[in-house]
A and B are shown apart, each in its own frame.
Chain A
Amino acid sequence: MDQEKFWVLLSKKLSAEASPEELKELEHFILEHPDWQYAIQNMEDLWKHRQPKDEMQSEDAYMLHLHRMNEKNILFGDASTAMPVITFKKRIKKWYWSAAAVLILVAGSFFTYYKLNTTKSNQAQPGVQLNEISTRSGSKSQVILADGSVVWLNVGSKISYNKDFGIAKREITLTGEAFFDITKNPEKPFIIHTSVIDIKVLGTQFNVKSYPSDKTTETSLIRGSVEVFVKNREGKIILKPNEKLVVYNEPEISRNKNLQQNETREKIPLFAIKQLNYQNNDTIAVETLWTQNKLSFKNELFADVAKKMERWYNVNFQFDNKSKENLLMYGTFTTESLREALEALVFSFGFKYRIENNKVIIY
């Protein structure tokens, strides 16, 4: 082989354009010239080092670019969406104020109701007004209740409670996912109602996930202890720290109506107690990572990961290829854009997607 051809082949290999035949030819040449091996190996290493991107410079340039577009009166959406940093600040401010407003409301109602109750009997009144706090898909919120308990509300979730919360009893209703840090008060247990379970606690930290679109309701205990009452079932389940109770949302009969054999029916438990998941070297359980602004999953089906991503990114997933629903996935995202997250998953788990409007289609 002549010299030039050899270097051309190497060049094609480096730029990933060489055909299998060409690669073989090149390999053959290298075997014949072992003294070049070192140079070629280093050349390959050298090739992989691309100039690191100057993020700062590009970000600055992008801002100037938007400014120029604006000057030229070129319509580019609304300025705030073009600069996510500002939207983020705005959003924080917004919920900060709404949380503050809620606090004042709660404190106010506490005061008026307390005054009323010093003279009246302490009955729960029918038609007592409800306080309701909810988050949209794509945003989270933290709420401090009148008793000092803190509730982190995950995306697309809602809590509601009577305006007399904290006086006679501490009861709230949850739809969606929330992490609770409950102030201790043995005289007034804190009770959380969801569609399939009620949770009774004295003072503790735990996470409850109860989205209507999910198949299960999960209660994950970090410390302390909780008692869980499954609706339409007798008795209670007591959880220990690092345990997770998984309850299937659909009633057994409807879940199994397509199954014909009785054995299969028994194989699917109504509920299960599992251990919390921890990632390597992480002291925070995967179940509560979302409070750290992380979207995290470990050995979960793509179908379930998609549900998490739907809420996190405020999009909808559609599986045109149903077999992909069963891919087992693990991963953690923090600041990644939807597209970056999808590209990373495509890279590791292999599937195809396209984005149409607010919909991610997996095929």
Chain B
Amino acid sequence: MLKNNYIKKLLAAIALDDDQAAYKELFLLLYGKLKQFAYTILKSGDEAEELVSDLFIGIWQKKDQLSNIETPLLYFYTTAKNLAINRLKKQKRRVILSAEDWLVESNSIYFDPEQLMITEEMVRQIKKAVNDLPPRCRLIFKLIKEDGLKHKETAELLHLSVKTVEAQMAIALRRIAICLHFDMKKTPQPHFSFKK
């Protein structure tokens, strides 16, 4: 929500003002995430990096049209996806996989257990739960949690129905929550405090 508005402001500054500082800010803001997303399709770090650079060259070249983009975050991800698929098409010897097989790197979903009031064991279990999510589910979870896309935007990006995205999110959240859930009856004496 906030992110989309902020990106819109940067894009407007680039479109109207040729604002190079805004251009740089936008690049720094999106680079890491877009590269990770491109990597899930291309499976090559170097190519993912080049793709993001190509994407931003495009942004500069057609900067006059930038102020009309309603959902800029989705625009960036859709463009990254299309560029990636075009790349794969050009390199004919590589197989173009469906979104089912876009595998999110396991460490790219972020947890900082030290800031949470949970046990070591829970942290281990959460990580395992996330890594064990089916690929599509993990991708959806990452796009919504880490990258800040909306449910509807994620559905559009991956050509799925909103219902499917919601169902996948429900699966991911439930599996993680189970790791965090503890049964009072089974746990004798918790040696950490509850958060109210």
Contact = CB atoms under 8 A, between A and B. Distances in A.
DSSP class of A's interface residues: helix, strand, loop or mixed? helix
B142 to A, nearest CB: 10
Contacts of B41: none
Contact of B174 (A3, A57, A82, A355): A3
Chain B, interface size: which category?
Answer: 35 or more
Nearest to A42: B180
A93 B138 CA distance: 52
B49 A61 contact: yes
B110 A49 contact: yes
DSSP class of B's interface residues: helix, strand, loop or mixed? helix
Contact of A61 (B52, B111, B181): B52
A2 to B, nearest CB: 10
Contacts of A51: 32, 108, 110, 146
Chain B CB within 10 Å — which of A17, A41, A61, A76 has the most?
A61
Interface stretch (B13-21, B68-76, B78-86, B92-100): B13-21
A67 to B, nearest CB: 9
Contact of B13 (A43, A46, A50, A355): A355
A62 B24 contact: yes
Interface string B100-129: 000000001011100111100000001000
Given A339-B9, A354-B12, A15 B17 contact: no
A266 interface: no
B155 interface: no
Contacts of A40: 177
A32 interface: no
Interface string A62-81: 10110011001010110001
B16 A58 contact: no
A69 B180 contact: no
Given A38-B195, A61-B52, A53 B150 contact: no
Contacts of B160: none
A57 B49 CA distance: 11
Nearest to B50: A68
Contacts of A356: 16-17
Given A49-B112, A62-B24, A62-B31, A42 B195 contact: yes
Interface in B15-61: 16-22, 24-25, 27-28, 31-32, 35, 49, 52-53, 56-57, 60-61
B151 A49 contact: no
A52 B33 CA distance: 11
Contact of A339 (B13, B61, B126): B13
A35 B181 contact: yes
Given A15-B144, A58-B28, 11 more contacts: A12-B151, A17-B150, A35-B184, A39-B182, A51-B146, A59-B28, A64-B53, A337-B21, A339-B9, A340-B25, A355-B16
7 contacts: A4-B170, A11-B170, A36-B181, A39-B182, A65-B57, A337-B25, A356-B17
3 closest Cβ pairs, A-B complex? A7-B170, A51-B110, A39-B180
